A and B are shown apart, each in its own frame.
Chain A
Amino acid sequence: MRIAVDLNRCQGYAQCVYLAHEVFRLTGQEALTYEPNPDDERRLQVERAAAACPVQAIVIDRLDGAKGSATS
């Protein structure tokens, strides 16, 4: 699955790190880095992280499953 984090919005609450630490990481106190293309097995974790983000900064691909038709 593909994700992006709108880091203009992100305020470093770290809820995503708490819920999906294989996908989201903090470097230092506030700087978030993430795996933009996590394994599909992580989907539930990532969806929970996205739902828990206080500023709703996590964007999840809404076309997943339509893989292959990459440039539809």
Chain B
Amino acid sequence: MTVPATVAELVRKFRANGRIVIVGASLAGLRAAEALREEGFTGSLTIIGDEPDEPYDRPPLSKQVLKGWVPADHTTLPRLREVNAQWRLGVTATGLDRAAKQVRLADGEQIPYDRLLIATGTRARQWPNPDEAALDGVYSLRSRDDAAQLQKALAAPPSRVVVIGAGFIGSEVTSVCRELDLPVTVVERGSAPLVGALGGVIGEIAAEIQRDHGVDLRCGLGVSSLEGDSGGHVRRAHLSDGTTVDADVVVASLGSIRNVEWLEGAGLASGFWGVGCDAGGRAFDINGVVTDSIYVAGDVARSPHVLYEYQFLAMEHWDNAVLGAEAAAHNMVNFEPHYRPHLLLPGFWSGQFGLNIKSVGVPPFGDEIVFTQGSVKERRFAAAYGRRGRIVAAVTFDHGKWLEYYGKLIEHSGPFPPPPPGWDQPPDMKPIPAEFPQPGVPTALPDVVLTGHDPSERAAEFRPRPR
């Protein structure tokens, strides 16, 4: 297929003289900038980030940094090439004017763009009571500063740590506490650690592992309040069953919030779920119509996934940030029919309690699980997740070399239960319910309503619900 000369000329001109603005200076923002230059974009490139530091890597923060092996400021990301950008670090983007094609910054400046990449990621959900969250000794973990402060507090050492929430970050923090020989209590609302990501069957195994490592794990409970001393330092956590736990470090690992507030009023399909975009990273407007000039990548992007019935998925995974950024960058400097889809098989890893936990696919999409290799007792196994006779995900504990095998099966829409891998099979390979929690009922979300009568005037509008 040949591209009409006029389109080719447009692409050439844009690559030479266009203005691209990237909002978000972390992994996705940096890799997008590098990919744009790699694709031959020589126009002006501006990268806006609200943190003062140049892009850094987050996975080490909850592991080697917390442990004290690596200083927090040693995590700056390696660069793949020069990006020759104007860096605006330490300044927050506060608004987007799509009509004027400008990004508004907290310092009042307006940055014009021809094409914009939204890569603002997520932030840690803070402890909801602001007075209690402000107590000394209460931490959350997302940024490099968070890690530096928490590492210092753990090195002090504290008499006991309370970790609220046993997702991946909470479990990694807990693991580090035990490696540092610190007494730690984990309070988790769900039935076990990692239940949201991996389901109750795997969660039970994670719970046993934590308890074997001396973790005081309390599931099915919440923390109702945090109590400080007269000096403003946290001393005690009150749990929902009326008991208390004395502690001088509390880590709230309550999941993440997508950084979309700055897009309010811009008319994009953005909200608590992230920014909706197509599989090529092109943002949808509020009506679900694809935009021509705005792209999304990384944790904040939410796009339909071909392997998962085209459901919109947001993936807070390292390789999603890298590969989504590369696809979006490619599409920003090309035209149809040269767009590229971001067709990632999602995958994540976690190191905790000396175990390498990895998964491919989307485990919560499955409703059944089957152990396919290794031994749960030895904590060295692979398990596959299925839905309606199809394999949709797999998880491994210290069995990472087999992940590719399961990944291939998932990519090819293989059967569930999967064919026996032919090595290291457990005696019982019977699928059982995976025990994912039912999705909660969302509250306090805005309604989207349709307005206008004439077809050319019909449009969607956000109507925030009164809280």
Contact = CB atoms under 8 A, between A and B. Distances in A.
Contact of B69 (A7, A8, A33, A72): A33
Interface string B341-373: 000000111011111101000000000000000
Given A2-B76, A6-B319, A63-B79, A70 B54 contact: yes
Interface string B365-403: 000000000000000100000000000000000101101
Contacts, number: 98
B64 interface: yes
A60 B81 CA distance: 11
A53 interface: no
A61 B77 CA distance: 8
Interface stretch (B83-91, B150-158, B271-279, B442-450): B83-91
A11 interface: yes
Given A8-B319, A36-B57, A36-B75, A31 B355 contact: yes
A4 B69 contact: no
A29 B79 contact: no
A3 B56 CA distance: 11
Nearest to B349: A7
Interface residues of B, number: 43
Interface in B45-67: 54, 57, 59-60, 63-64
Contact of A10 (B69, B352, B355, B400): B400
A36 B355 CA distance: 20
A34 B87 CA distance: 28
Contacts of A63: 79, 81-82
Contacts of B83: 72
Given A8-B317, A8-B318, A63-B79, A31 B354 contact: yes
Interface string B70-112: 1100111111111111010100000000000000000000000
Q: Report the contact-size class of chain A (Cβ under 8 Å from the partner).
A: 20 to 34
A35 B356 contact: no
A65 to B, nearest CB: 11
Given A11-B400, A28-B354, A3 B78 contact: yes
A31 B351 contact: yes
Contacts of A36: 57, 60, 70, 74-76
A40 interface: no
Contact of B355 (A28, A33, A34): A28
B80 A28 contact: no
Interface of A: 2-4, 6-8, 10-12, 27-37, 59-63, 66, 70-72
Question: Which 4 residue pairs spanning A and B have beta carbons closest together?
Answer: A28-B354, A31-B351, A37-B74, A30-B356
Given A4-B78, A33-B60, A37-B76, 17 more contacts: A6-B322, A8-B348, A10-B400, A28-B353, A29-B354, A31-B351, A31-B352, A35-B64, A35-B69, A35-B74, A36-B76, A37-B75, A60-B78, A62-B79, A70-B54, A71-B54, A71-B89
